[in-house]
Chain A
Amino acid sequence: GAVVSQHPSWVICKSGTSVKIECRSLDFQATTMFWYRQFPKQSLMLMATSNEGSKATYEQGVEKDKFLINHASLTLSTLTVTSAHPEDSSFYICSATPSSAATDTQYFGPGTRLTVL
């Protein structure tokens, strides 16, 4: 149980284009999902908290107009990197907390490797 999927697993795009990454909780409902970015050999950097039915909460320094988050259902959150540039190349990981959970346990997706040329 508690499986989270991400799609795509990797994507290569040209500079200036937009890329959408999907995060799905497969066997549970998640009111809250999280989006992280990870640079090589570094820890996770929380970008934003995605809340079903409301606006995402962005961490300081993360541009909300560049990283659009939509959490339209209890099993799906999307992250759209708009007008991507090479510096946006990174490993993006989402996580989800079951709505029924008594803890803050987050279950992670497998990640999406974004390369912007």
Chain B
Amino acid sequence: GEDVEQSLFLSVREGDSSVINCTYTDSSSTYLYWYKQEPGAGLQLLTYIFSNMDMKQDQRLTVLLNKKDKHLSLRIADTQTGDSAIYFCAESSPSNTGKLIFGQGTTLQVKP
């Protein structure tokens, strides 16, 4: 079945890089997404990657996709306290319904 797994918690110091990892099960997913959720708010789309790409970079964000291992990562360079939030990875459902399959979310704590 479709399943997306993430580690639940990551703590880093301000200025360091953060790497949030995600594994997924469905190799037919077309797109994979990273969303950020701040307390009491909705989800903010950070970036997405097409499944035939290996890497995508957008300012401080780098997404790496290892399709063979079904592993997705989000690297945040020069992590700031404002980056503290919950990060969700998601894969597009292969059922072509437009649904997204979300991971449990990784809470990123940035210490000053």
- How many residues of A are in contact with the other chain, CB < 8 A? 24
Interface residues in B, total, Cβ within 8 A: 22
Stretch at the interface among A11-19, A69-77, A79-87, A103-111: A103-111
**A-contact bits for B29-61, CB 8 A (1 contact / 0 none):** 011010100001111110010000000000000
A34 within 8 A of B: yes
Q: Is A49 a contact of B98 with CB atoms below 8 Å?
A: yes
Is B99 positioned at the interface, with any CB of A under 8 Å from its CB?
yes
Asked if A43 contacts B102 (CB within 8 A), the reply is: yes
Residues B97 and A49 in contact, CB atoms below 8 Å apart: yes
- B105–A43 contact, CB under 8 A? yes
Known contacts A43-B88, A43-B105: A104-B100 contact under CB 8 Å: yes
A106 touches B100 (CB 8 A): yes
Pick the contact of B98 from A4, A6, A32 — CB < 8 Å? Answer: A32
Chain A 1-37 interface 0/1 with B at a Cβ cutoff of 8 Å (1 = within)? 0101010000000000000000000000000101000
Give the B-binding residues of A (Cβ under 8 A).
2, 4, 6, 32, 34, 42-44, 46, 49, 57, 93, 95, 97, 103-111, 113
Apart from A57-B97, A105-B33, what 10 extra A-B contacts exist at CB < 8 Å?
A4-B42, A6-B42, A32-B98, A34-B99, A49-B98, A103-B48, A104-B30, A104-B92, A108-B43, A111-B41
